[in-house]
């Protein structure tokens, strides 16, 4: 019963921790279709994560949200700002800065954080033309690269690539700045719940094994102590044993002196035996060579010796 109760308690603890870890790891996040938009383009912001929770899209300006998403069919510069997700009245996600511009140049960059080591493409767009254009790209206000195709690629991003980016088209204008986030590819963040589960299951199995071993050990110890405390046999048991031994008798061959010439000699080969209650009293008689005369008074006499 104790082992079963302990297993139940540990199982409930494991489930509770799993639920807590799932809520922590699966936090909500806000996802937008783009970080920079031209005026009159559609803006879509969605809230993801936190299964079973009702999420609401919020922004710095007053905006009616439809459930877990914010949709603006024709965006205006006034729609620019910070967007995030809420659970009830509590902020439950990261926030993104979205810029709606009335100008002619925007920078297209990743909306979500980029994993360290991944490839990133930055594109400079002109509102009036879709053909290849020459663009200059800046990071934290410093020129880093120029491109005749209007885009650049970072094959393997690192934490040093994190920062504010913008682009400029000669004789075309300049885009707003957007923040590029680079996250570490640490396996511990995704595998932490399973590590905790594995450790807890190992503790559960170890506890069950130790309890089983201890229960078996104490059972053997109590059995041994009970046999040691019995002591010598009681008086009734000893009496029964003596009575059983008394049922067995001892017989002996007793010789008598002869009345003849060799009467001073004793018969040879005296015979002794032990006879039980149910055993036939069969004895070997003396041979003829030893006792040639077999008179009645020369026959052996049997008696029971108690």
Query: What pLDDT is attached to residue 21?
Result: 46
Exposure on the CB side of residue 179, measured as CA atoms within 13 A: 11
Helix (H, G, I), strand (E, B) or coil at 154: strand
Res. 23: pLDDT tops 90 = no
Q: What is the DSSP string of 159-218?
A: GGG-EEEEEEETTTEEPPPEEEPEE---HHHHHHHHHHHHHHHHHHHHHHHHHHHHHHHH
pLDDT confidence of 47, banded at 50, 70, 90?
A: confident
Which residues, 6+ apart, have CB-to-CB distance to 71 below 8 Å? 42, 43, 44, 45
Taking the model in full, what pTM does it have? 0.53
Mean pLDDT value of segment 116-130: 92
**Which of 17-31, 73-87, 91-105, 150-164 is predicted most confidently?**
150-164
- Better-predicted residue by pLDDT, 55 or 224: 224
User: How many domains would you assign to the chain?
Assistant: 1
Domain membership flag for residue 123: yes
The more confident residue out of 199 and 39 is: 39
Q: In the numeric block, which tokens belong to residue 133?
A: 């254009």
Can you give the pLDDT at residue 287? 46
Among residues 266, 234, 237, 239, the alpha carbon closest in space to that of 253 is found at: 266
Q: What is the pLDDT of residue 270?
A: 56
61 domain-assigned:
no
Tokens of 127: 């509102």
d(CA 286, CA 294) in angstroms, rounded, equals 10
Spatial distance between the Cα atoms of 100 and 61, rounded to a whole number of angstroms: 13
Instruction: Kindly tell me if the per-residue pLDDT of 294 is higher than 50.
Output: no
Stretch 121-126: mean pLDDT, rounded? 95
35: helix, coil or strand? coil
Report d(CA 117, CA 7) in Å as an integer. Answer: 44
CATH of the domain at 172: 2.60.40.10
Instruction: Please check whether residue 160 lies inside any domain of the structure.
Output: yes
- 58-62, 91-95, 287-291: least confidently modelled range: 287-291
How many residues in the chain? 306
Residue 247 lies in a domain: no
How much is the pLDDT for 277?
Answer: 55
Binned at pLDDT 50, 70 and 90, residue 42 comes out as very high
CB 83: neighbour CB atoms within 10 A? 27
Pairing of strands 272-275, 249-254: antiparallel
**Cα–Cα distance, 118 to 124 (Å, whole number):** 20
Query: Is 301 inside any structural domain?
Result: no
Q: State the residue range of the domain holding 130.
A: 103-185
Q: How far apart are CA 43 and CA 62, in angstroms?
A: 15
Q: How confident is the model at residue 149 (pLDDT cuts 50, 70, 90)?
A: very high
Would you say residue 301 has pLDDT above 70? no
- Asked, for residue 119, whether it belongs to a domain, the answer is yes
In a domain, 73, yes or no: no
Encoded tokens for 82? 């910070």
Return the pLDDT at 61. Answer: 62
Mean pLDDT of 53-59: 63
Mean of per-residue pLDDT scores for the chain: 72
The alpha carbon of residue 194 and the mean position of all alpha carbons in its chain are separated, in whole angstroms, by 8
**Domain assignment of residue 271, yes or no:** no
Mean pLDDT for the stretch of residues 35-61: 76
In this prediction, residue 123 carries a pLDDT of 96
């Amino acid at each position: 019963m104790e082992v079963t109760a302990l297993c139940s308690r540990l199982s409930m603890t494991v489930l509770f921790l799993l639920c807590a870890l799932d809520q922590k790891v699966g936090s909500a996040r806000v996802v937008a279709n783009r970080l920079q938009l031209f005026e009159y383009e559609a803006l879509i912001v969605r809230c993801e994560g936190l299964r079973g929770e009702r999420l609401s899209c919020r922004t710095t300006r007053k905006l009616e949200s439809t459930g877990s998403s914010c949709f603006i069919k024709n965006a205006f510069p006034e729609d620019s700002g910070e967007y995030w997700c809420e659970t009830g009245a509590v902020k439950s996600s990261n926030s993104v800065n979205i810029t709606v511009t009335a100008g002619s140049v925007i920078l297209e960059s990743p909306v979500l954080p980029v994993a360290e080591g991944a490839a990133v493409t930055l594109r400079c767009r002109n509102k009036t033309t879709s053909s290849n254009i020459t663009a200059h790209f800046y990071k934290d206000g410093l020129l880093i690269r120029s491109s005749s195709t209007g885009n650049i690629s970072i094959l393997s991003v690192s934490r040093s690539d994190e920062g504010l980016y913008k682009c400029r088209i000669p004789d075309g204008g300049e885009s707003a700045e957007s923040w590029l986030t680079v996250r570490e590819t640490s396996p511990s963040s995704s595998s932490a719940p399973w590590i905790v589960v594995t450790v807890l299951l190992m503790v559960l199995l170890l506890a069950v094994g130790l309890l089983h071993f201890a229960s078996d050990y104490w059972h053997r110890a109590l059995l041994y102590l009970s046999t040691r405390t019995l002591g010598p046999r009681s008086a009734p048991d000893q009496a029964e044993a003596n009575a059983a031994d008394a049922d067995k008798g001892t017989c002996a061959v007793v010789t008598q002196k002869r009345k003849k010439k060799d009467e001073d000699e004793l018969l040879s080969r005296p015979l002794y035996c032990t006879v039980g209650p149910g055993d036939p009293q069969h004895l070997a008689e003396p041979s003829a060579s030893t006792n040639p005369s077999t008179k009645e008074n020369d026959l052996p006499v049997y008696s029971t010796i108690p």
